[in-house]
Structure 1
Amino acid sequence: MSRLILHIDLDAFYAAVEQRDHPEWRGRPVVVGAEPGQRGVVATCSYEARRFGVHSTMPIAQAVRRLPPETVYVRPSMARYAKVSQQVMGVLETVSPVVERVSIDEAYLDVSGLTSLVGPPAVIGAQVKERIRHAVGLTASVGIGPNRLIAKLASDAQKPDGLTVVPPEQIGGFLAPMPFTVLRGIGVKTAPRLERLGVKTIGDVRQLPLETLRHHLGARTGTQVYQQARGLADDRIDPDRPRRSISREMTFPEDVSDPRMLEKTLRWAAQEVGSIARQTQHLGRVVTLKIRFHPFETHTRSRTLEVPTADDVALFGAAWSLFAAEPWSGRPVRLIGLGISGWSATDGGVQRDLFETAAPEPCPEHDRLAATLDAIRNRFGADDIQRGLNRRSPGSGSARRRSRYSHRT
């Protein structure tokens, strides 16, 4: 008997949260990411914006040229999105005990044993969608199949608000018309090799012998593509697969040399990362600084802390010391940011070396301040309050009361 894997994907998640929290934005194009005039990109956008050909990772300048004047541009509020994501994951755990979160807006569930309790796969999928809608007021697309690959492709098949079930006997017909590029392992180097063989669809891939695929793609990738084209893929769900890191970065509209602006930007990034880490109950030991110079010269530097933390001040201090230790002073910076990783458990403290230098004891007042700032950001938005900063977004070209605004030509 085959497994039954469900993939859940929240529709245009960041934009959907913004439209939910701002009813006046519903029905209008909403872009979450960089603001007009900045050098950044679109993080995500509403389906109203996608109708104009806008998509994630598109440069914001290109998106602005395509979108109408009533478009709303919003800076991401990651702590708020993380809170909604946690609510959704809690809902999923009421459906199945085997849930693997793979990103802030998607997860896999093993629902193999639910058919005798709940009903056929379509009923299970409809129940998941309804519970999410009731809990957080958002729509989600669900795909159900015998493995992760089929479930993921099924959830993409009818977005938004879709539900697609692919039984084992229908896998061939489901996959055949799809472009071969949806298969895992097909990249910018691999795709042209298949195109030269006249391949356009997964059905075309199935016509190629294994030896041919291994010859043109290499043994590992060729075998993987051969199996996927036949619907063969991993059906394991790992609830304990951890989130590897949390990071935040800023691409400046113009290269920045002013150390005060860079310091402010790192403080902002530390607050964002710290807030998300606290919301998701992560403590990390490794702080990583990322910096990019013109045109794409990128460097990363990391430091391992003695004690794991999610504290804004500690994160900033480690990142700024990494910056100060390098001969970068005065060089124009295009992008700067920081991340945290190297998780430790948050619920039982950390066993430390008896001869280790004592770390500062936790400060209750400091913890209460962080909790208060998190609560304010969650309610009013991440840009409404900053620790030791004015309300101007780092890297912005002009002072603004909030980062949300409608762009009008």
Structure 2
Amino acid sequence: MRKPAGVERLYIDFDSFFASAEQHLQPRLRGRPVGVVPIASEHTGLIAVSREAKAAGVKRGTSVRDARRLCPGIVLVAARHERYVALHRAIVRAVETVLPVKAVCSIDEMVCALTPAEQADALAVARRVKRAVAREIGPALTCSVGLGPNELLAKIAAEMEKPDGLVVLHPDALPGPLLSLPLTDIPGIAKGNAARLARAGIGDMAALWRTQPKELRRLWGSVEGERLWMGLHGYAVERPETQRRMFGHGRVLPAGWRSPAGAYACARVLLAKAASRMRRSGYAAKALALWLTDRHSAGWYGEERFPPTADDPSLLASLARLFLHAERETPSDARLRSVHVTLHDLVGAQEREEDLFAFTPEAQIKRRHESLSLLADRLNAHYRGPLLHWGPWAEIPGGYAGAKIAFNRIPDAEDF
């Protein structure tokens, strides 16, 4: 495997993105402690915190009640995912006035590949990126930039001096700058993996550095452990392209929606959104899964399998059957906390060709339903809302059903 002699990747990580985005969009919030919540409710937790609120001890995940106690002046703002996505796209355009974005890693992270000429003056290129963002976007949205021989080390570098940092991890300097980091600061080492490493006698970065790659593969139970070792040691690790495995959405239920009927109404909307995304990507599903949880984290899980299906009427009928099973198997007074729907066991359009051209009455009805579902998708995307839908459509408090920003997914404009 190739081991770069210099820095080949530039990683950009925006600081407190959702909260900083609100300070950018609402200048009156600049310099004030800001917390972003998923919905306007006193019974939720913060999903983003500005640096001013962090200084008062507020963290991501802090409850609204605790945030107000820790920081009485905090301003809480309900998330506006559509605005954040538009801002993200403007940021990509700003970065690309300096150099192309190789990959978008999340709503607030992206990585660029440096040419040999850019590698020779990498710090200057990084400063140009930061200036471009400040010029094209504004001063409220700062980014931390990391430079390294590969994406992993560049990402670690970007995290080392937040906010508004600029750090180089040159391969010749390794492992020195890494040795002071806790293991959980390394992408891919969560608390569970850190505990597994500790049981194997690996409690800090020095011990991890000395470990052999095959040993990390054994501890991880997969090739990911070996890839981590290669990345930390500066090798050019190229990850295989992942294949789409599912489309799904989940939602913590608002206070007035925690009955089975409320959960079903919410699930219908989430399924319609997931099915629309699936059709837009050219897939059909052979399975639908439903997962319900209550306030004690107990859950009900059910799954229905069927021939490759992409039309809303068939999928909604499957969901209705799953809910009938759920109602029979859960207490009648159950107070549900969340609902999740997932379309999986995906099949591409070419694999469905034979079934689509079957001439049974059922197949013809299914084709007609799929054509109508695609028409509804186009009209809903054009008019930016649920203009056409099958059966009742519930307006879920908090909005953005199916259009929330996930860790590794940025919604398309059609999702809103």
Q: Note whether the superposition's TM-score is higher than 0.5.
A: yes
Query: What per-residue deviation string (whole Å, max 9, x for no partner) do you get for residues 141-167 of structure 1?
Result: 221101222111101012222222221
State the alpha-carbon separation in 2 of the partners of residues 359 and 26 from structure 1. 53
Deviations along 1:300-358, whole A, 9 cap, x unmatched?
5556785658x8x9986765554345335633211113456677899x9x856411432
Shift of 1:269: 4.0
Is 1:72 the counterpart of 2:76 in the alignment? yes
Cα deviation 1:212-239 (Å, max 9, x = unaligned): 977995786997499369634553267x
TM-score under structure 2 length normalisation: 0.69
Residue 84 (structure 1) aligned to one of 79, 83, 87: 87
Residue 170 and residue 132 in structure 1: after superposition, are their counterparts in 2 closer, same or farther (change >3 A)? same
Note if contact 1:92-1:128 (Cα within 8 Å) is conserved in structure 2.
Answer: yes
* Deviation for aligned residue 1:117: 5.7
Query: Residue 233 of structure 2 aligns with which residue?
Result: 231
Q: What TM-score results when the alignment is normalised by the length of structure 1?
A: 0.70
SS in 1 for 2:368: coil
Q: Deviation of residue 249 (structure 1)?
A: 3.0
Give secondary structure in 2 for the equivalent of 1:56: coil
Give, in whole Å, the separation in 2 of the partners of 1:130 and 1:389: 45
Query: Where does residue 55 of structure 1 map in the other structure?
Result: 59
1:43-76, Cα deviation, whole Å (9 max, x unpaired)? 22222222223333344444343232442231x3
Q: 1:191 to 1:241 in 2, by over 3 A?
A: closer
Structure 1 range deviating more: 1-10 or 182-191: 182-191
Q: Deviations over 1:241-273 (max 9, x none)?
A: 567666543324659553442244335545776
Superposed, which structure 2 residues align to 1:27-176 within 5 Å? 27-34=31-38, 39-74=43-78, 76-89=79-92, 99-111=102-114, 113=115, 115-116=116-117, 120-137=121-138, 138-176=141-179
Give the aligned length: 374
Structure 1 distance, partners of 2:86, 2:296, is 36
CA contact (8 A) 2:67 2:74 kept: no
Give the equivalent residue in structure 2 for 1:285.
Answer: 284
Cα deviations by residue, 1:57-113 (Å, 9 ceiling, x for unpaired): 344444343232442231x333333333344445556665672233232233322x2
- Counterparts in 2 of 1:11 and 1:211: CA distance versus 1, 3 Å: closer
Indicate yes or no: 2:22 matched with 1:18.
Answer: yes
Percent identity for Structure 1 against Structure 2: 22
Residue 316 and residue 145 in structure 1: after superposition, are their counterparts in 2 closer, same or farther (change >3 A)?
Answer: farther
User: Which structure's relative contact order is higher, taking Cα pairs within 8 Å and 6+ residues apart?
Assistant: 1
Alignment of 1:378-397 (within 5 A): 388-389=393-394, 392-393=397-398
- Distance (whole Å) between structure 1 residues aligned to residue 308 and residue 213 of structure 2: 52
**Are residue 372 (structure 1) and residue 383 (structure 2) matched?**
yes
The gaps in structure 2 that reach 5 residues or longer are 387-391, 400-416
Unaligned runs of 5+ in 1: 376-386, 395-409
How far apart, in 1, do the equivalents of 2:301 and 2:21 lie?
32
SS at match of 2:181: coil
Q: Evaluate the alpha carbon distance shift between residue 364 and residue 261 of structure 1 in structure 2; reply closer, same or farther with a 3 A threshold.
A: same
Structure 2 contact 8–149 (Cα < 8 Å) conserved: yes
Deviation per CA, 1:120-178, whole angstroms, max 9, x where unpaired? 11122233334444454433222110122211110101222222222111222211111
Aligned to 1:383: none
